[in-house]
Amino acid sequence: MAETLLRLQAVMDRVGLKRSKIYALIGEDKFPAPVKIDGAARWPESKVEAWVAERIAESEDARAA
C-alpha cells in the first residue's frame, strides 16, 4: 500500500503545533523529519500518527504513575 505524504499544513493541523515548533522538535530529534521531494517537505502519515500515539501513551503513563 502506498504511503500518504502530508504537507506541513496537514501536519500542523494533526499535531496542533506551529511550523516553528515542529522544526524545533525536528532539530532536537523529537519529531519525524520530512522527506524532501523536489525540494518540498512532506511527512509520511504513518510517522506523524506514530508520533501522536507516542505522545498519548506518554501522557497516559504519566497520569497512571
The pLDDT assigned to 60 comes to: 84
**pTM of the shown model:** 0.89
Cα gap 19→59, rounded to integer Å: 23
Domain ranges of the chain: 5-64
Please answer whether residues 48 and 32 qualify as being in contact, where contact means their C-beta atoms are separated by less than 8 angstroms.
Answer: yes
The pLDDT assigned to 44 comes to: 98
Is the pLDDT at 52 greater than 80, yes or no? yes
The pLDDT assigned to 63 comes to: 80
Please answer whether residues 16 and 25 qualify as being in contact, where contact means their C-beta atoms are separated by less than 8 angstroms.
Answer: no
